[in-house]
Amino acid sequence: MDDEFAKLNRRINPPRVIVDNGACGHATFIQVDSVNKHEILLEIVQALSDLNLNVTKAYISSDAGWFMDVFYVTDNRGKKITDEETLGYIQKTLETKVYILNSMKSSANLIPSKDHTSTTIELTGNDRPGLLSELSAVLADMGCNVINAEIWTHNARAATVIHITDRSTGHAIEDPDRLSTIKELLFNVMKGDSDFKTPSARMFVSTSRETHTGRRLHQMLLADRDFERHNDKCSMEPHVTVLDCSDRDYTVVTIRCLDRPKLLFDTVCCLTDMEYVVFHGTVITGRLEAYQEYYIRHVDGFPISSEAEQQRVMECLEAAIERRTTQGVELEVITEDRFGVLSEITRIIRENGLSIKRAEIRRNGGKANDRFIVSDVMGNGVVDPKTMEMVQKEIGGLGEEEGCGMKVEGNNSSLLLSTKLPKEKHETRTSFSFGNLFKGRNFHNFNKLIKSCS
C-alpha cells in the first residue's frame, strides 16, 4: 500500500525543473521541485557536475517529503548560459534524472554505460612514482586496450577505475582464466614492495548500467581510509566544523575552502556515502572562496551523537575535498588512438622523473585525449621547466611518428608550456590562487539569502 501511495504521489506531483536567465544578472537560475527520495540531491548535483556547470550559490530544502533546490550556475568562463539549445538540454537532463530516480525502487546511483561493452577494473593500493606507467604496461602486455580510465591519489593512497576491451575483438574480456591472470598481475603492481596496506582489486564486465566514476573513486578511497593522516596538516587544507543544533535536532556541518569546479558534488557525495541526509543547506562562493553549510541527520533520522563521529565526518569531508585538489603541473596530450599509446606516454613521464598524481584517460572517435597532473618524485608541484621541455619533446615525437597532431600543456603558478599545432585553436588554462577565507559572516539567515542572487 505504501508503494502504491508513493506511485500515486509521483503521478500527482511530477518533478518540475525551472531554468531561467532573467532571475539573476550574473548566473543562470535553476530550481528543482520533486517528491523527496534518498540520494536525489546527489543525483541533481552529479548531473550539474557532468554538464560542466559551476554552482555559485545553492539553497537546499527537503523537509516534509518534498524536495526543493535552487542553484545559480555559470559555465567554465564564469558566465551565465545563454544558448537556448543548451538551456533546453540542461532542463531535459535534470527532469529525466529526477524522473528515473523517482521511478526506481532502490537508489543505486546508476547511469547508462557506454555503447560498447567493456571490462571494468577497480584498484586501490599504495601510491608511488611510476604506478600508472606500470599498470598500463601490464595491460598492454596482456593485449588489453584501455578505453577510459581515471586515477586519483591522496594521502599516499591511489584508486583507479579502468575500462578495457580485448585488443583483437574490441569487446569485453570474459575468459575467467585470462581475467584471473590480469587481476593477479595488477594486484602485484599495486602492492609493490610495501606492506603498508594490502591493496584491493576487482574486475567485472560492465552491464547496462554502471556507477558514476567520480563517486566510485570517492567510495574506494573512503573505504581505503585515506582520511587517516600520516603527516601534519598544512595551512591550505579545507576548514570543516561539525556542531550540534539541539533545538532543531540537526547536526550542522560548515565548510570553508578554496572554490573549484565539482566541489559541491564532492562534499554531497561524501555525506551521502557516509549515510547522512541533507535536510537544509546553503552554498555561497565568491573571490575564489567557497562556504557550505548543511543541516544533516543520519539515515536513521538521528543527528550525530558523539565527538568521535563528529571527528570522523570532519576528516572524511576534508579528504573528499582534497582528492581533487592535487598540486602540480597539468599536461594534456591529444593524439591518434592506437594500441599501447598510453603505456608509451606514461613511460616517458616516469623516465623523466615525474610522478602522476591524477589522470583522466579518454578515447573517442579514434582520438586519445589524456590529462595528467604531475609532480616531481618528492611530490612538489613546481617542476623544472627543462624537465617539462624534455617530456614535451619526447611525447611530441610519438605524435610525429604517427603523423598526427599533439598538444602538451603544463600549468602551475610558475610554468606554462604549450605546443601550438597548425590550424588548431590553443586553449589557455588559468591556475588557482589562494585568498583569505570568509571571516565573520553570518550565513544562517536562509530565508533572507534565498531572496537575493547577489
31-40 pLDDT, tens digit per residue, is: 999 888 888 9
Q: What is the pLDDT of residue 204?
A: 72
Q: What is the pLDDT of residue 103?
A: 64
Please give the grid coordinates belonging to residue 25. Answer: 544578472
- Please report the domains of the chain, with CATH numbers, ordered by start residue: 2-108+235-316+438-450 (no CATH), 112-226 (3.30.70.260), 326-421 (3.30.70.260)
Q: What is the pLDDT of residue 7?
A: 55
Q: What is the pLDDT of residue 154?
A: 95
The residue ranges of the chain whose pLDDT is under 50 are 105-116, 207-209, 235, 401-406, 410-454
Q: What is the pLDDT of residue 438?
A: 33
Count of positions (residues) in the chain: 454
Q: What is the pLDDT of residue 407?
A: 53
Q: What is the pLDDT of residues 377-434, one digit of tens each?
A: 888 888 888 888 888 888 877 755 444 444 555 444 333 333 333 333 333 333 323 2
Please give the grid coordinates belonging to residue 411. Answer: 600549468
